[in-house]
Amino acid sequence: MILSIPSPNYMSRQGRRPRWVILHGTAGFHKAEDCGYYFQQPSSQVSSHYVIGQDGTIVQCVDEAQAAWANGVLDAGADSWWYDTPNPNYDTISIEHIKPHTDNSDEITPAQKAASFRLIAQICARWGIPTRPADAQGGITGHFSIAPINRSGCPGPYPWDELFNYLNGTSSDDGDEMKTISLKDASSFFEQAPGNAWRCKKNNCVVGNAILDFYRRFGGDALCGLSYLGLPLNNEHPVTAKDGSKVIVQDFERGSLAYDPAHKLDGPPGVGAIYLTHRGVALEVQELRRQLEDAKKQNHAAEVETLKKQVDGYKQAVSAAVKTLQSIK
Ligand SMILES: [Zn+2]
């Protein structure tokens, strides 16, 4: 059931149709109703079409046919298609998720997730919105896509991969779902980075977007990519395929991943856009650099040893000379 707490904070879509669903985190509030009452105050000057509570309660604040006041101005670095619309609010339907922590660090609850997935599926069906990650034609994304600086943590952790599996019917329906790991599962090693990305706590390397989605489900059991690939050793970097085109590669402790939808670098049978590839050249260069540093350190140590011996020699010579002088007196 959807509760209605209408907000006066909305405007006409100016004849435009919603093409994107934008997910948000409330960074405060404990109940969907409380957030709804806040949006109901004219003075708040903000709203969202929907708010979903941690208990799965859905509150509707603005009619889908109207534009809510959920997305502010574009930040530098916003996804390119937002520059083609006079105001992202005209073209979007916004869903807030209650997250009590002001940094939106809460994982959404199972009840909240179920309500969110169902609502998104219904909205996409009603408006013909593509059930895929947002691109210039439409789709689903977070507030970070519009405001990557000021709202990089909106909505914060969200099970994007699971959402798209759910929407596209690729999640198995026999209850034997393929395992994916969440940031919580990997929290000893990773923290949230802006957008769909995790930062390694050990070395600050960032795993993001399609490679992160792959990493989170690779292997399908244990701790997936964390178990089978280990930690990232570098960031995504381009390597050159035989035909001269660039392919993105990222190296991990136990293997390297290529993001290569056109299979320019390699084409193992049956793979999609991402596959396990041979160790990257970048990694070999990194290893050689490390060896060089070690060699330098060893050289340095040897030099210091020689200098020490020389100094000791001088000390002995000086004390011998002093003794000689004293004996002359
Ligand atoms: Zn937001």
CATH code: domain of residue 138: 3.40.80.10
Position 175 scores a pLDDT of 44
**Residues 6, 98 within the same domain:** yes
The token pair at 177 is 């779902």
Element (H, E) at 327: helix 281-328
**Residues 78, 221 within the same domain:** no
Query: How far is residue 2 from each of residues 93, 186, 197, measured CA to CA in Å?
Result: 16, 34, 32
Angle at 214 between CA 211 and CA 215, to 5 degrees: 85
- Is residue 142 situated within a structural domain? yes
124: left (phi over 0), alpha (psi -120 to 50) or beta: alpha
N- to C-terminal Cα distance for the chain?
109
**Residues 26, 70 within the same domain:** yes
**Residues 39, 121 within the same domain:** yes
- Is residue 166 situated within a structural domain? no
Element (H, E) at 301: helix 281-328
State the chain's mean pLDDT as an integer.
90
Predicted confidence (pLDDT) per residue in 135-181, tens digit: 999 999 999 999 999 999 999 999 999 999 999 886 444 444 567 89
25: left (phi over 0), alpha (psi -120 to 50) or beta: beta
- Is residue 201 situated within a structural domain? yes
**Residue percentage of the chain with pLDDT more than 90:** 63
Contacts of 258 (CB under 8 A, 6+ apart): 239, 247, 248, 249, 265, 266, 274, 275, 276, 277
Of 126, 157, 188, the residue that ends a domain is: 157
- Is residue 2 situated within a structural domain? yes
- Is residue 164 situated within a structural domain? no
Residue 211 structural domain: 178-279
The token pair at 257 is 């991943």
Predicted confidence (pLDDT) per residue in 200-223, tens digit: 999 999 999 889 988 998 888 889
**Residues 184, 144 within the same domain:** no
Distance 146 CA to ligand 1 centre (A): 9
Predicted confidence (pLDDT) per residue in 285-329, tens digit: 777 888 888 888 888 888 888 888 888 888 888 888 888 888 876
Distance 254 CA to ligand 1 centre (A): 37
Count: domains in the chain: 3
**Residues 55, 44 within the same domain:** yes
Distance 154 CA to ligand 1 centre (A): 5
**Residues 147, 253 within the same domain:** no
Contacts of 91 (CB under 8 A, 6+ apart): 13, 16, 17, 18, 19, 20, 85
Distance 9 CA to ligand 1 centre (A): 15
ipTM of the complex: 0.99
**Residues 153, 122 within the same domain:** yes
Measured distance CA(276)–CA(292) in Å, rounded: 29
**Residues 8, 144 within the same domain:** yes
211: left (phi over 0), alpha (psi -120 to 50) or beta: alpha
**Residues 122, 44 within the same domain:** yes
- Is residue 81 situated within a structural domain? yes
Position 173 scores a pLDDT of 46
**Residues 34, 149 within the same domain:** yes
Tokens 């509030």 correspond to 29
Distance 23 CA to ligand 1 centre (A): 7
Distance 47 CA to ligand 1 centre (A): 10
**Residues 320, 291 within the same domain:** yes
- Is residue 173 situated within a structural domain? no
Distance 308 CA to ligand 1 centre (A): 63
Measured distance CA(47)–CA(68) in Å, rounded: 6
